[in-house]
Chain A
Amino acid sequence: MDFPFVKEAVAKLFSKTSCSMYPFEPSEAAPNYRGRIVFHPETCINCNMCERVCAGGAITHTSVKNDDGDDVITRSFDLGSCTFCSTCADFCTRHSIELTGDYHMIGIEEGDLIVSGTFIKKAVKRPVPGAKPVAAAAKPAAAKPAADAKAAPAAAKPAADAKAAPAAAKPAADAKAAPAAAKPAADAKSKPETATEAKPEEKKA
């Protein structure tokens, strides 16, 4: 009688198991695994593209006006409705959404599976008619902020500001400084840039 593979069988009896002993040995997800969502609220501009393209309808936001007239926006991602397709991360223009390799998502209580972030979107003050000459005088200094003064609607802000402020951390701050008509708060808030600094100085002079 011939028993094939006897040597291999006996060797396997004493070799290491191929089982991945998960709770006792840590296990990493594959690279580019689409796991738990991490939201970076500081870079969000509230374009709502993620909400529009979400397959499972997992993204919602609430907006409350605070004392300064700014919007305090809270964006929530419900991991219990999420398909982890990463369409929101692909469409996010500011790369504020990231799908990490964290796959341990267990929900026991109500709010366990909700990831949310809050940020403040500064209100854009409409240009006062008296500020027009200021914008005109500043034209040679920088054409960009003057364009901002004409394009008052807040929705257009991100595109213009992205060029004016490379960091793009405070988009609305620039918008405020550009058509600013004697707003000392704007000077304190705006980033040190040649364009925006030139105008208040010229105004004061």
Chain B
Amino acid sequence: MFKKLIEESTAKSPWLFHINSGSCNGCDIELVAVLTPRYDVERLGFKLAGSPRQADIVVVTGPVTRQSLDRVLSTISQVPEPRCIVTMGSCPQSGNVFKGSYSVCAPLSKYVHVDVDIAGCTPKPEAIIDGLAKATEILKEKRRQM
């Protein structure tokens, strides 16, 4: 009985956790801009959570640098299932201009299963909203299967 209630309420309020794994901060700025009143993704229920243990969707920016790799993986592992991992920008997806560098371990999909890629350098806030909406749908499916 409670299951349906939980399912419906969490579908309308997925909490985000943002991890910056060495990014240039362009994508980070756009992500927090999406949370400001102009593009206001908070009206759709998204909120930045303070701790990974309280998050549903993890947003990763930055090419995963060697120094941050272990920390990123341990943080992601702290996010409870069902979770959705979203890579934002082209850095975590392939390394972009940093491909082949000694200190960059992109793509993130080598280490964890990535659900949604938002492409762009840096993606427009509306594209980020699209990606998060898709992530919410995937999360709903995962929760249903649990």
Contact = CB atoms under 8 A, between A and B. Distances in A.
B116 interface: yes
B99 A56 contact: yes
Contact of A113 (B96, B97, B119, B130): B119
Contacts of A80: 90, 93-94, 117, 119
B130 A106 contact: yes
B79 interface: no
* Size class of the contact patch on chain A: 20 to 34
Given A19-B43, A56-B90, A105 B118 contact: yes
B63 to A, nearest CB: 11
Nearest to A29: B124
A82 B127 contact: no
B120 A105 contact: yes
B3 interface: no
Contacts, number: 89
B133 interface: yes
B123 A103 contact: yes
A28 to B, nearest CB: 10
A168 to B, nearest CB: 32
Contacts of B129: 22-23
Interface in B117-146: 117-121, 123-127, 129-131, 133-134, 138
Interface string B97-125: 10100000000000000011111110111
B127 A106 contact: yes
A84 B115 contact: no
Contacts of A55: 97
A36 to B, nearest CB: 9
Contacts of B138: 108
10 contacts: A19-B43, A29-B124, A35-B120, A80-B94, A81-B96, A83-B90, A84-B121, A103-B127, A106-B117, A108-B138
Interface of A: 18-20, 22-23, 27, 29, 35, 55-57, 78-84, 103-108, 112-113
